Each structure stands twice: as C-alpha cells, then as structure tokens.
Structure 1
Amino acid sequence: MSLAESWDRYAVGSKRRRPVNAKGDTTWLNWTQYADHGPNESLLGPVAGRRVLELGSGSGGNLAHLVTLGATGRGVDIAPARKAVALERWGDLPGLEFHTAEATAFLKETGETFDVVLSVFGAVWFVDPDTLLPLIRSRMAPGGMLAFSHLPPGGQGPKPPRAGLRHDRTPDEWRRILTGHGFSDVRVSLIDPPEGKAVGTMLVRALAA
C-alpha cells in the first residue's frame, strides 16, 4: 500500500469537524488536538490580502477560516478523501483551492509564493525537515511566516499510517533546524492542555529571513 493510500484510509475513518464550535462560529482556526482550546489566528497577524498555504489541510476548516478573513488559500493534502470532504463543505468559498499532492511534490512544482505557510498536525510533523523546510523556504515571500503545531516529543496522539513517520523535535532542535534552513525569529511555545488532559501542544512560528 502506498503512502497516499495509507493516509486516504486514515482520512476516511477520521471524524469530521463540527458545523459550529462552542461559540457558535461556523469557521475557526484550531491549533491543538482539543476542541475549543488554545489561541486563535491572531498569532499570524493580519491575514487579509495574504497568500496562505496549508500543508496537510485535511477537511479544510482552518484554511477556510483564514479565507473568510480575507486571505487567499491553497490547501494541500496527500489523501484524496480529504479534498473531497473539503470541497463538499468549502468548495463555494472564493479564493480557496484544494490540491491532492504530497507536500514536497507540490512545493517543487508550484510557481506560487506564499506569505504564510501553515501546518497544524500536518506535513511538517511527518516529513523529514531537512527535506521539507528548504522547499517551504523557497516558496515563501520575504518576511513570510511559517507556523506549525504538533504534539511535544513523547506525546501520544493520532497514530500515522506508518510507524516511525512523526518527526518529533524539541523546542531547541526546532530553533536550530529552522535557523539552519533560512528562517529567523523562531518562537516556540507549549500550549497547556485543558483541565483533565495530560498532553499539551507545541506551537512553532518562524519568519523567512
């Protein structure tokens, strides 16, 4: 079974995002593995007029939210089932496109540049950073932001289709790796879990130097 087929099987069994969140919003950005928890899109700064790429866009909810705020969005996911679900819910939203592709293949082939590259429990966690980060950097506008989240090292979370896929890194390791691949102002924060939960979320932001 190919990697795409494995991820597609995983996607088919995934729970879909709710129609509204606890506040009654129909779109929202969720950085963590917990519903209605953690910071919002303000960590990215103003997004209106900015070109946003999400690597591992899933069902498209995070990216759709940024597009409703005035961004132009490109979502990339390796699983065909993800695109189908995203188009079903968000296909009529202007300025939003979804692509089925492996992240590195898309970055090699696209001619676009982006102001924000986003990965929420997405490709940055599952692709070798020494391969992926140079490609991301090559498609980013000067001063653009890369922002991604995943579990802290050792955290137990959604199991990927193939064992050993996750690229867990400590905050210091991410600072070193990102700086080495042309990023600056690297900021790493740990978001505490909600009450009753044991595992938090690591959130990383860096600027294209």
Structure 2
Amino acid sequence: MPLESTTLPEYWDTYKPYRGEGEQPTPDVETFAWTQYDGHGPGEEFLGSPRTALELGCAEGKEAVYLARTGVEVTAVDFSAVQIARARRWWDGTPGLAFVEAEACGYLTTTETTFDAIFSIWGALWFTDPDDLIPLIAKRLNPGGVLAFSQAEPIEGYYGPQPMYGNGLAGRKLTLLRWSYPPQWWADLLKRTGFVDIEARVLPAPNPEDVGTLMVRASAPNKVLPADVR
C-alpha cells in the first residue's frame, strides 16, 4: 500500500525558530544559511544573481528577508498560516517581499508568475513528492533560472518516502513523510525533467562524524522547455 502523508498545517505551526509560549523578539538577519551548522557551507551566492526568487517552505522567512534586502524581489510560500502570520508581523514593510500561505504544488499550479530562482532550505523539497514537485518548478522558472535546495543527507540504503510521527510518539497521529534520496537520484530526475548544469552532492559536516547536508542546484535551459516536459 502506498504511503500517504496526513500531515496538517498544524504540524508546521510549531516549527522553528521558537516552540515556547509567548511572542519572541524578531531575529537578526545577518547571513543566508543552507546548512544546519552556523557559518558552514555556501551563502546566497549558491542561487546565482536572481532578480526574482520564490522560496518554498519559508517558515519564519529569514532567508527571504535577507534576499529582499539585497534588492531581489522575493515571494515566500509556506503551508502554515501561523508561520506566515508571524513572518508578516516581523517583516511587514520590507520592500520587494511578499509572504503567501499556500501548499507548494498548489501555488505552483495556480500562479502565472515565473522566477529567476526557486529555492528550498530544509523545506518543501524535502516534504513533497519530487515526482510531482520538480516538473511544476520547471514550469515556473525563467529560461536559465536556478533551482537550489538543501536538506539532511540521506541514510545510505534507505531511500524514498520515509514516514514519521510529526508530533513525536504521544498525542494525535500526524503522519509526516520526507523524501530522501542520494545525490545521483536527484541528478537523474532533474536531467529527465529538462534541467541542465546539475550539481548534487553531500556537503560533509564540520565534524565528519556528524550528519551532512544534501546540496542540489540546477538550471533551466536557456530556451523554453519542450511540451512533453512542461
């Protein structure tokens, strides 16, 4: 029987950066981080030099804010109304920045906007079936546009959709799926979808014994994708 995620937006309502009670101060936005280790890995240059960008699974929106402050026009999407409300409360008035409450595939299916870059930092690219999501991303990238994402490195030999209880082992069942694949699998999928200049690798942690970060980047071709891809 195929696995099916039953995760509701409420799982993401309590996701980073603060899980405690009460309102917390607005965090500083000084860096653009792809990995789980402070000061480790590339920064915003991993995206190239986009004029417009879409983030899928923005949570509190720090990276979206960082890009907007450099002059990029950014749309940041998240499934959780709580995350979006908090992001708007913190960053309202930031020029060139818009937060949208939506599921990633739903947004990409309905929007007519195209982007120079689409990115996900431990976000929708980890928690959405890539066979559904990657073709939709391809349709919304401008020619030459960049797709970039990061997530935890896969556990060797254990690939595909992986279920877990999203709220731990107590309380109501919230089934969460994460899609975990090795770099070559991602490279093959992106190539089949029409992407070029594909880079997919695991960036080791500062301590080689710790969990590394899967880093993937690819470009849309500098011409319109053929009809069978789009």
Query: What TM-score, normalized to structure 2?
Result: 0.79
Structure 2: 5+ residue stretches without partners: 1-5, 157-163, 167-173, 222-230
Note closer, same or farther for the CA distance 1:41–1:12 as it changes in structure 2 (3 Å cut): closer
Q: 1:159-196: per-residue Cα shift (whole Å, max 9, x none)?
A: 77254511101011001111111211110132221238
Letter in 2 for 1:191: L
Alpha-carbon shift at residue 85 of structure 1 (Å) = 1.8
Please tell me whether the aligned partners of residues 81 and 101 of structure 2 are also in contact (alpha carbons under 8 angstroms).
yes
- 1-structure distance, mates of 2:37, 2:84: 23
Letter in 1 for 2:188: R
Determine the structure 2 residue equivalent to 1:180. Answer: 192
Q: Is 1:191 aligned to 2:192, yes or no? A: no
Determine the structure 2 residue equivalent to 1:44. Answer: 47
Q: Is 1:83 aligned to 2:91, yes or no? A: no
Identity of aligned residues (%): 39
- How many residue pairs get aligned? The number is 199
CA RMSD of aligned residues (A): 2.4
Q: Could you say what secondary structure the match of 1:111 adopts?
A: coil
Q: Could you say what secondary structure the match of 1:35 adopts?
A: coil
Q: Could you say what secondary structure the match of 2:89 adopts?
A: helix
Q: Could you say what secondary structure the match of 1:133 adopts?
A: helix
Q: Is 1:53 aligned to 2:58, yes or no? A: no
Please tell me whether the aligned partners of residues 27 and 64 of structure 1 are also in contact (alpha carbons under 8 angstroms).
no
Q: Write 1 or 2 for the structure with the bigger share of helix.
A: 1
Q: Could you say what secondary structure the match of 2:179 adopts?
A: coil
Query: What TM-score, normalized to structure 1?
Result: 0.86
Note closer, same or farther for the CA distance 1:75–1:183 as it changes in structure 2 (3 Å cut): same
Larger radius of gyration: 2
Determine the structure 1 residue equivalent to 2:146. Answer: 145
- 2-structure distance, mates of 1:98, 1:116: 16
- 1-structure distance, mates of 2:118, 2:124: 11
Please tell me whether the aligned partners of residues 107 and 136 of structure 1 are also in contact (alpha carbons under 8 angstroms).
yes
